[in-house]
Amino acid sequence: MNFVEAVDQETRLARLYDQLEDMTPEQLAAAGAGSLGDNMGDAVFRRIYSQSGVFQRVVLDSVSSQGKVQTRAGSALAEDTQKRQVERISNDFNQWHALLSGDERARPIDVILANLADLRENRRQAAVAPTPADETLLSQSLSALTRNNTALPDTLGTMLNEVESEFRAVATAATMTQLNQALNDDVSQFCRDFVQPLFPFGTGRHISPAIFGQFFGPGGRMDNYYTSYLQPHVIRGPNGLEPAPDSAIAQNLSPATLAQFDRAQAIQLAFLHPGHLNPGWTCRSRI
């Protein structure tokens, strides 16, 4: 906020002319001729100069130097030209000035600061009491933060884009770590110990119906993991499960993992009735 206010104050350069116009004829006469450059010696002008910011002084010095090289006959025209130049410079900062336009707490800069505060609160809550909704809320906060970037100064818009990119990258990495840990704890270890070695998946004895249902059945390990972690990030395409195009997490999912869950769902449909963990078959005959 302080930075935006400083830019606004430093770059509203046309105000300098408003202050100069308040100088009395006597003050102008005491300084000599009426051009901006000649007014540099006037006490009132020096006061204005001393109260100006660094950027304003640079502009005043530049404009004053240009005024000094003009001929005496062309001083009025030169001053008008210089004023238009200053106005053009000031207009280049209109997007910065707009950040402070409007009612208090409803200005563009206030909206940006509120979005940043929401982002900070989201990350604080995720660290203290994480919930499945945290990542959705994070995505919404980041989208709100950069929604109006095209209307912002390039520097500020770029900074907010970088904030969004960094948070999304960190969040994606954290989510992938969580997904991989849960996959290992809830699915992979159980599969290696109780499913993979047994027939028909390995060369050992036949897998028991209870273990088969616990792993492949509705509400089983594969099904629970899919519902809790994968489902928001995948779609079903003509060739099985595919990464959802609008999910950053999906782009990091292993095709081999998606293929395994696709096969697990096919096994469930083929051998397990809805709501039952044990495999079953229904045989019907007609005479």
Domain boundaries, the chain: 2-98, 108-173, 189-271
| β-strand partners of 202 | none
CA angle 212, 214, 216 (to 5 degrees): 60
The pLDDT of residue 270: 87
Whether the CA torsion 23, 25, 31, 33 is positive or negative: it is positive
* pLDDT of amino acid 71: 40
Per-residue pLDDT, 279:
64
Asked if residue 216 lies in contact with residue 264, where contact means CB atoms within 8 angstroms, the answer is: yes
Distance CA(47)–CA(43), nearest Å, equals 6
Paired with 234 in beta bridges are 243
Supply 15's token pair: 């105000």
CA 262 to chain centre: 33
Q: Is 225 exposed, middle or buried (CB count within 10 Å of its CB: 0-12, 13-18, 19+)?
A: buried
Which among 256, 261, 194, 195 is positioned nearest to 229, based on CA atoms?
Answer: 261
Q: Residue written as tokens 């994606």?
A: 172
Q: How far apart are CA 97 and CA 50, in angstroms?
A: 23
User: Which residues of the chain carry a pLDDT beneath 70?
Assistant: 1, 10, 12-83, 86, 132, 275-287
- pLDDT digits 0-9 by tens, 221-254: 999 999 999 998 999 999 999 999 988 889 999 9
Q: List, in order, residues 6 or more apart from 194 with CB less than 8 Å away.
A: 207, 211, 215
In the chain, alpha helices (H): 2-11, 14-21, 25-31, 43-51, 54-68, 75-91, 94-98, 108-128, 134-146, 154-182, 189-190, 209-216, 221-225, 255-271
Note the pLDDT of residue 89: 72
pLDDT for residue 261? 96
**For residues 45 and 35, what is the distance between their CA atoms, to the nearest angstrom?**
12
Spatial distance between the Cα atoms of 130 and 24, rounded to a whole number of angstroms: 67
- pLDDT at residue 55 in the model: 58
pLDDT tens string 82-106? 667 767 777 878 888 889 888 888 8
What pLDDT is attached to residue 58? 62
Provide the whole-model pTM: 0.62
